[in-house]
Amino acid sequence: MNLTLNDEQKRIQTLAREFAEREVKPGAIERDETSTYDVGLFNKLGKLGLIGLPYPTTVGGQGMGYLEYALAVEEISKVDASLGISYSVATSLYGGTIFNSSASEEVKKKFMAPVLSGEHLGGFGLTEHGAGSDAAGQKTIAKQDGDFYILNGSKCFNTNGPLADYYVIYALTDPSVGTKSMTCFAVERSTPGVSIGHIENKMGIRSAQVSEILLDNVRVPAANMLAQPGEGFKLAMKTLDCGRIGVAAQGLGIAEGAFEIARKYMMEREQFGKPISKQQYLAFKMAELYTKIQGAKLLVYGAALAHDAGTRFTVDAAMAKMTATDVAMEVTTEAVQMLGGNGYMREYEVERMMRDAKITQIYEGTNEIQRLVISGTLFR
Ligand code: CAA
């Protein structure tokens, strides 16, 4: 299948693919093993203009769209899903919250440009210990104090958290009315009272850094408010629609990366006197996986195109996220099986891809939440 890309989209795809192969792939096994993140790779993503792809130049972006961005996330995630999610969170969730917000152009540029340029990481503070799938169950409070708001609370599972210089933090101005008072702020890491709590030790995406963000009397200018009280939940949902395209592209990339390793291995590995690709059972299995990947690709690119067309893309994003990440889990699990004993070994990479794939079915809305979003539109 060859969805026709224009010359600019092909250029972005090639740029991201060459960068991924040349600079990201070589250290991926070690970064996973040591749970270390290479900030230099993020800096380079920015220098190549890939982080700001879907945003206008007025806020530091490249003035392209979500299809170009999805193509880049896909290429990076083929070789390193950790960098894929770090990149996606910075662009879609951090950048998206600010871009979709009611903040002034000046505030948008101030907080977006340093992250889109790749100089600084950005994090997205929505999830709390008691507010995961039920994102409305926030406890973090923002209390007005003249021209400032004082933030108290904590956020968890914050991708980029320990390394980020900027966050968007969702909070309630009046807990007695819950989401009717939900708002959001752009917060600088250097603000007194912001600190890093527990850093997670994870099954997969081990190079990506994920932590708690603790907020203890953090004084934030009212000008940094990104949603009027009561509008914060919708801002989070609108932003997650964008983020889910990023995770869908990540899942697609993981699936393609593992598929390609298995395909090449099957042509080289001989058993019973012939390459294992000549075993019809295995070849048929690969045909099925290939078909599923192509189907997922159509949904991912379709959701990105729906975003870029300015239409409501909530369901497109949910279908793409659910399908591409389920396909990633299936393909990586089968790839480990195709490689037999070697598949279980670190140097063959597919075991890492299998561990990485699992979280894509969970974060940015579990695939059960995606089913809720999709089914909610079917019976109106
Ligand atoms: N766009 C705009 N507005 C939306 C919307 C959307 N996609 N979805 C809902 N809304 C609006 C609704 O219209 C409604 O507005 P009104 O009150 O004016 O009618 C309001 O939001 C409430 O909607 P619901 O009643 O549907 O909300 P709900 O409480 O039932 O929850 C949910 C809906 C889909 C379950 C939502 O809570 C959800 O998406 N949960 C998952 C949270 C999630 O994805 N978390 C991931 C965290 S980020 C992450 O994983 C980080 C990482 O590091 C990778």
Residue 357 included in any domain? yes
Question: Are 369 and 344 part of one and the same domain?
Answer: yes
The pLDDT-based confidence of 148 (bands split at 50, 70, 90) is very high
- Phi and psi torsions of 179, nearest 5°: -60, -20
- Same structural domain for residues 247 and 346? yes
Do 248 and 299 meet the contact criterion of CB atoms below 8 Å apart? yes
The percent of residues above 70 in pLDDT, for the chain, comes to 99
Checking if the pLDDT of 1 tops 60, the result is no
Please state, for a pLDDT cut of 90, what percent of the chain lies above it: 99
Both structure tokens of 69: 């961005």
Residues 160, 201, single domain; the answer is yes
Asked if 192 and 277 sit in the same domain, the reply is no
Residues framing ligand 1 (Cβ under 6 A) = 85, 89, 124, 126-127, 133, 135-136, 157, 159, 233-234, 237-238, 240-241, 314, 363-365, 369, 372-373
Question: What dihedral do alpha carbons 156, 159, 165, 167 form, nearest 10°?
Answer: -60
Express each pLDDT in 330-377 by its tens digit.
999 999 999 999 999 999 999 999 999 999 999 999 999 999 999 999
Which amino acid is it at 11?
R
Q: How far is the CA of 251 from the centre of ligand 1 (A)?
A: 21
Report the atom number in ligand 1 closest to the C-alpha of 247: 54
The pLDDT tens digits for 151-196 are 999 999 999 999 999 999 999 999 999 999 999 999 999 999 999 9
Q: How close is the Cα of 304 to the center of ligand 1, in Å? A: 19
Measured in angstroms, how far is the CA atom of residue 241 from the centroid of ligand 1?
9
Q: Which two tokens stand for residue 197?
A: 């709590």
Reported as a pLDDT band with limits 50, 70 and 90, residue 201 is very high
Distance 293 CA to ligand 1 centre (A): 28
Q: For residue 218, tell me if it sits in a domain.
A: yes
Question: Domain check: are 166 and 98 in the same one?
Answer: no
* Three-class secondary structure of residue 158 per DSSP: strand
In a domain, 248, yes or no: yes
pTM over 0.85: yes
1 part of a folded domain: no
Classify residue 2: in a domain, yes or no: no
Q: Could you identify the atom of ligand 1 that is nearest to the CA of residue 233?
A: 21
Residue 181: inside a domain, yes or no?
yes
Residue 206 backbone class (left: φ over 0; alpha: ψ -120 to 50; beta: rest): alpha
Note the pLDDT of residue 380: 83
Q: Whose CA is nearest to atom 16 of ligand 1?
A: 234
Alpha-carbon distance of 344 to 197, in angstroms, equals 33
Quick one: 224 and 237 in the same domain?
no
CATH number at residue 101: 1.10.540.10
**Cα separation, 314 vs 104, whole angstroms:** 25
- Identify the three-state secondary structure at position 94: helix
Assign residue 216 the CATH number of its domain.
2.40.110.10
Mutation to probe ligand 1, out of 82, 126, 234, 319 (largest number of atoms < 8 A from CB): 234
Helices (H), 80-226: 81-88, 96-99, 105-116
Band (2; pLDDT cuts 50, 70, 90): low
Nearest-atom number in ligand 1 for the CA of 244 is: 44
Catalytic residue, chosen from 128, 256, 364, 368, is 364
Domain boundary among 170, 198, 231: 231
Helices (H), the chain: 7-19, 28-34, 39-47, 66-79, 81-88, 96-99, 105-116, 232-268, 280-308, 314-338, 340-343, 350-360, 367-375
* Listed residues 182, 208, 231: the one ending a domain: 231
Question: How many angstroms separate the CA atoms of 93 and 115, rounded?
Answer: 12
Terminal Cα-to-Cα distance of the chain (whole angstroms): 34
Distances (CA, A) of 304 to 123, 191, 249, 362: 22, 35, 9, 21
Residue 380 forms part of a structural domain: no
Q: How many domains does the chain have?
A: 3
Residues 80 and 106 in one domain: yes
Q: Ligand 1, atom 47: nearest CA belongs to which residue?
A: 364
- 226, 238: one domain: no
Shared-domain flag, residues 241 and 222: no
Nearest CA to ligand 1 atom 13: 234
Last residue of a domain, one of 116, 142, 177: 116
User: Which pLDDT band holds residue 3 (cuts at 50, 70, 90)?
Assistant: confident
Q: Are residues 135 and 255 in the same domain?
A: no
Q: Tens of pLDDT along 289-309? A: 999 999 999 999 999 999 999
Q: pLDDT of 231-274, one tens digit each? A: 999 999 999 999 999 999 999 999 999 999 999 999 999 999 99
274 and 221: one domain? no
Per the structure, the complete domain to which residue 341 belongs is given by 233-375
Quick check: 140 pLDDT over 70?
Answer: yes
CB half-sphere exposure, 296, CA atoms < 13 A: 30
Closest CA relative to residue 196, chosen from 224, 232, 158, 234: 158
Question: CA-CA-CA-CA torsion for 215, 218, 221, 225, nearest 10 degrees?
Answer: 20
Give domain status of residue 307, yes or no: yes
Q: So what's the pLDDT on residue 184?
A: 98
Ligand 1 midpoint to CA 229 (Å): 16
Report which ligand 1 atom has the smallest distance to the Cα of 373: 34
| Most ligand 1 atoms within 8 A of CB, residue of 237, 238, 250 to mutate | 237
- Closest among 142, 201, 194 to 166, alpha carbons compared: 194
Q: What is the total residue count of the chain?
A: 380
- Per the annotation, the verdict on 364 as an active-site residue is yes
Residues 92 and 70 in one domain: yes
Assign residue 266 the CATH number of its domain.
1.20.140.10
Q: Which residues contact 343 (CB under 8 A, 6 or more apart)?
A: 335, 336, 337, 350, 351
User: 363 C-alpha vs ligand 1 centroid, how far in Å?
Assistant: 14
Average pLDDT over the chain, rounded to whole? 97
Angle, vertex CA 315, rays to CA 233 and CA 331, nearest 5:
115
Residue owning the nearest CA to atom 18 of ligand 1: 234
- Tell how far the Cα of 235 is from the centroid of ligand 1, in angstroms: 9
